[in-house]
Chains A and B, each alone.
Chain A
C-alpha cells in the first residue's frame, strides 16, 4: 500500500485479511451504481478463509451478489430491493442457501446501519479519489455517504473502489478521513439506467389514466410537490403536463417541486417551465449534461454536476411532499399491494417510505389539508398515496386479487411478516383505467371495499361491484369515472404526449440528453 492506496491486484488478499467470518458487510449496490469491482473481487476470496458473512445490500442487482451465497462466503442478507435478481433470490431462498434478515424500505435499512446493523466493513464506490482518500462520487452519490458514515465513526473499515486516482478532485463528496483503503477498479463502476422509459411504449390506456390523475387528483387537490414511480403510467403523466395540463391552465398550480431521479420523460415539463425544483436519489445514465445545464432546477455542486443523495431524498419524499404515486403488481380488496409474486422476490425499494402517511408530519400544505374529512378542530391533513394500476396485467392475469401472492411467499419462506409493499390503510386513492376510487373519503371498511371494487373492472374484486352501489358512490364523489371529472376517453391518445419517442426527448433537451445505446432506435 501507498498511503491509503492499494494496488488493484492485491484486493482479494486485502479482503481476506480485513474481513472476518461472520462480519456484517455493506456491499454498495444501489439502485443505480454498483461497487462491482469489489463484488467481483469478493467472489474470488477463498471460502475456507472467509465464510458466513452477513451482507447488507440496498439493491441486490448483480449476479455475483447471489453467487456469494452459493459459495458459502455469505449466509445472511438484509436488503431493500432485488428487482434484477428477484427470480434467483426466490430460488436460493427455497433451496435454503440464503437467510433473509428482512426486506426493508431504503430509509429503514440505512437507519438500522446506525442501530442494530452497524457494519464491520463497508465496500463503496466513487468516480475519483485523491491521494488523501477524498472521494468524488460524480452525479451518482446515492447511498455512499450514509453507508460510509455508519462504518467510519464506529470503528468500521471503509474500502472504496474508484474509477481513477487524480491529483485534484472536482469536489469532495466523502472526506478522506472517513476512508481507510482506496483501490482503482479495472473498469468504471456499473451503472444501470433504471428510470428511463421510452415514450414509444406508452399506450392509450396509460394516457387515459394519466389524464384522470391530472384532473381528478393533481388539479382537484392542488398537488404541488410529489414523487413519481418508474412505471409507464407515471411517465405518461410527465409527458402530459406540457400538453394536456397546459390546456387546462394548470401550469404553476401543480407539480412544481419533485423528489425524483432525473427522469428523461420530465425534460419536456422542465423545458416548458413547469418544474421549479427536483431533488434526486441518484442520477440517470445519459442525463448528466442536461442536468448540469439546469442548475436552477436540480441540486448541483461547484463542479456543475448533480449531487444526489438517496437517504435525504427518501426523507424528503417521506415528509415534505404532497403526493406519492406508484404502481404495483397485485392489490387485494383492502388495497394492500405488493410487487412480490409467486417465484419473484423483488423487494420494495423506496415505495413504502414515500407511499405512506407519515404521522410525524407537522407542517401543512393545501393538498395535505384538502384531504381532511373530519370536522374535529384537531383533524390533521393527509399525504396523498396514490396507486395506479391497470385491472389486468400482461398475460391476462388480474391485478386485483382475493389474496396477495405475498402471503403464501411469506409463509413459505418463514418470514415473520408477509412482504406487503404498501398497506391498504395508507392508500388514499386508487386509479385504474375504469376510474378513481377516493378511498380516503370512504366511511368504514365495507364502503372502502365497494369503492375499490367499483374501479376494479372485471377482475375477481371488480365483479363484486353492484351497479346501484357504484352509482351512489359516484354521486357522493367517492368514485369518479372519467366523465365525472371532465376527462374525455376519446381524447386519450398518443398525440397528446409531449414526446412520443426517445428522439423527441433528445430534441426537447436541445441535444443535451444522450440516451444509452439500448434505448436508441436510430
Chain B
C-alpha cells in the first residue's frame, strides 16, 4: 500500500473505480469463468419504481456472477452505484439473498463456495423503504449462515461508499476490503449534518468525511482488514488471497466484548480526533501475543 499516491507508476494501473459494477465483478474471477445469473435479459426489475416516476433498470442495479476465483467456486454480487446510488430494494435484495443462500446450499453439499459483495450503496432505497429494510435483515442472516462455511468478503472501492443498512452487512462479513477512496459508515455525512447540524458534521468538508469514513481510517481503526490501491489487479489478488485464507478463526462481529469496551471508553462529551481512534497497531500487538 502506497502512502501517499505520488509516482507515475500509479498511472499504469487498471483503475477499478472506473469499471462498471458488471466489469468490477467480472475482473475478480479467473479469466473467462464469470457467468452472470438473473441478468438484465431476464428482466427482473423493481415493480415499485415506475409508480414513483423512476425508470427501473433491467438488473435492478444488482449484478450476480458465478465462477471460480483462485480455482475455488465463488459468487460475486455487485451493486451499481450509478443506479439509484446503489440503494437496495426488494428485487436487488432478493437477488443478493438468493445468491448467498444458494452458495450456502452448495457448501452444505460439500462444494465450497465463497462470496464477494461489492458494496457501493447508500443503503435502503427510499422508494421501497420497508421492503428494503426487510431485505437488509435477510441479507445479514444469510451472510451469517454462509460465513461458517466459506468467507464472505465485502469490498468497497468507491466512489459511492457503503452506508446505511448495507454497512451492517459489511460489518458481519468475514473480511472487509477498502481502497483509500472507499467510504464505510452507518449514517452518511449528509444524514449526520441534517440530523445534528453543520456544527456537528460539515458534509461539504471532504477532508473531514474521509478522515472519518475513508478506507485509510477504517483500516487504521481495524474495521477493514485490507487497504488496497484503486488497481483492479491488486484488488483481484487481495480477494484471491483472502479466499485462500478461508474462514477467519473469529469473525469481527463476534468480538462483542472488544467492541463494547471500546465504545464504553469513548467519552462522547468531547470531540474526538479521528486519529485517536486508530486501534490497528495495538490490535496487532494483542494478536502477536
Which residues does chain B contribute within 8 Å of A519, judged by CB atoms? 206
* CB contact list, B184-211 vs A, under 8 A: 204-207, 210
Task: Specify the chain A residue showing the minimal Cβ separation from B207.
Answer: A517
**Complex Cα–Cα for A522 and B227 (A):** 12
Of B1-9, B116-124, B129-137, B260-268, which stretch is located at the interface? B1-9
Given known A-B contacts A501-B17, A503-B230, A507-B5, A518 and B10 have beta carbons under 8 A apart = no
Task: Specify the chain A residue showing the minimal Cβ separation from B15.
Answer: A500
Which residues does chain B contribute within 8 Å of A494, judged by CB atoms? 18
* CB contact list, B1-39 vs A, under 8 A: 4-11, 15, 17-18
Task: Specify the chain A residue showing the minimal Cβ separation from B229.
Answer: A503
Interface presence of A342 (CB below 8 A)? no
Interface presence of A495 (CB below 8 A)? yes
Interface presence of B214 (CB below 8 A)? yes
Do residues B11 and A521 form an inter-chain contact, with CB atoms below 8 A? no
User: Quick one: which of A507, A517, A518, A522 contacts B11, CB cutoff 8 A?
Assistant: A507
* CB contact list, A481-522 vs B, under 8 A: 494-495, 499-501, 503-504, 506-508, 510-511, 517-522
Interface presence of B159 (CB below 8 A)? yes
Do residues B204 and A520 form an inter-chain contact, with CB atoms below 8 A? no
Interface presence of B216 (CB below 8 A)? yes
Do residues B7 and A510 form an inter-chain contact, with CB atoms below 8 A? yes
Do residues B18 and A495 form an inter-chain contact, with CB atoms below 8 A? yes
**Complex Cα–Cα for A107 and B216 (A):** 47
Interface presence of B81 (CB below 8 A)? no
B157 smallest CB distance to A (angstroms): 11
**Complex Cα–Cα for A188 and B181 (A):** 30
Contact flags (1/0) for B205-226 with A, using CB distance below 8 Å? 1110010001110000000000
Do residues B210 and A520 form an inter-chain contact, with CB atoms below 8 A? yes
Which residues does chain B contribute within 8 Å of A501, judged by CB atoms? 15, 17, 181, 230
A86 smallest CB distance to B (angstroms): 19
Which residues does chain A contribute within 8 Å of B4, judged by CB atoms? 506, 511, 522
Interface presence of B180 (CB below 8 A)? yes
Do residues B18 and A507 form an inter-chain contact, with CB atoms below 8 A? no
Which residues does chain B contribute within 8 Å of A521, judged by CB atoms? 158-159, 181, 206, 210
**Complex Cα–Cα for A494 and B205 (A):** 27
User: Quick one: which of A507, A517, A520, A522 contacts B8, CB cutoff 8 A?
Assistant: A507
Which residues does chain A contribute within 8 Å of B8, judged by CB atoms? 507-508, 510
Which residues does chain B contribute within 8 Å of A504, judged by CB atoms? 10-11
Interface presence of A200 (CB below 8 A)? yes
**Complex Cα–Cα for A299 and B183 (A):** 40
Do residues A520 and B206 form an inter-chain contact, with CB atoms below 8 A? yes
Task: Specify the chain B residue showing the minimal Cβ separation from A512.
Answer: B6
A37 smallest CB distance to B (angstroms): 23
Kindly name the residue among A200, A499, A507 whose own CB sees the greatest number of chain B CB atoms within 10 A: A507
User: Quick one: which of A499, A507, A517, A522 contacts B7, CB cutoff 8 A?
Assistant: A507
**Complex Cα–Cα for A135 and B7 (A):** 37
Which residues does chain B contribute within 8 Å of A517, judged by CB atoms? 205-207
Which residues does chain A contribute within 8 Å of B5, judged by CB atoms? 503, 506-507, 511, 522
Do residues A518 and B206 form an inter-chain contact, with CB atoms below 8 A? yes
**Complex Cα–Cα for A383 and B21 (A):** 45
**Complex Cα–Cα for A500 and B18 (A):** 8
* CB contact list, A388-423 vs B, under 8 A: none
Which residues does chain A contribute within 8 Å of B15, judged by CB atoms? 500-501
Which residues does chain A contribute within 8 Å of B159, judged by CB atoms? 200, 521
**Complex Cα–Cα for A507 and B159 (A):** 19
* CB contact list, B140-168 vs A, under 8 A: 158-159
**Complex Cα–Cα for A182 and B7 (A):** 43
**Complex Cα–Cα for A522 and B178 (A):** 11
Which residues does chain B contribute within 8 Å of A520, judged by CB atoms? 206-207, 210
Task: Specify the chain B residue showing the minimal Cβ separation from A515.
Answer: B206
Given known A-B contacts A501-B15, A521-B159, A510 and B207 have beta carbons under 8 A apart = no
**Complex Cα–Cα for A446 and B91 (A):** 55
B219 smallest CB distance to A (angstroms): 12
**Complex Cα–Cα for A520 and B214 (A):** 11
A282 smallest CB distance to B (angstroms): 23
User: Quick one: which of B6, B216, B230 contacts A506, CB cutoff 8 A?
Assistant: B6
Contact flags (1/0) for B266-285 with A, using CB distance below 8 Å? 00000000000000000000
Given known A-B contacts A504-B11, A506-B6, A507-B7, A522 and B17 have beta carbons under 8 A apart = no
Task: Specify the chain A residue showing the minimal Cβ separation from B214.
Answer: A522
| Given A495-B18, A522-B181, 18 further pairs, Cβ under 8 A | A494-B18, A501-B15, A501-B230, A503-B181, A504-B10, A506-B4, A506-B6, A507-B7, A510-B6, A510-B7, A511-B4, A511-B7, A520-B206, A520-B207, A520-B210, A521-B158, A522-B180, A522-B215
Question: Can you offer 5 A-B residue contacts whose CB atoms are under 8 A?
Answer: A200-B159, A507-B8, A510-B8, A518-B204, A518-B207
Closest 8 CB pairs of A and B: A517-B207, A511-B6, A522-B180, A507-B10, A503-B5, A518-B206, A521-B181, A507-B11
Point out residues on A near B: beta carbons under 8 Å: 200, 494-495, 499-501, 503-504, 506-508, 510-511, 517-522
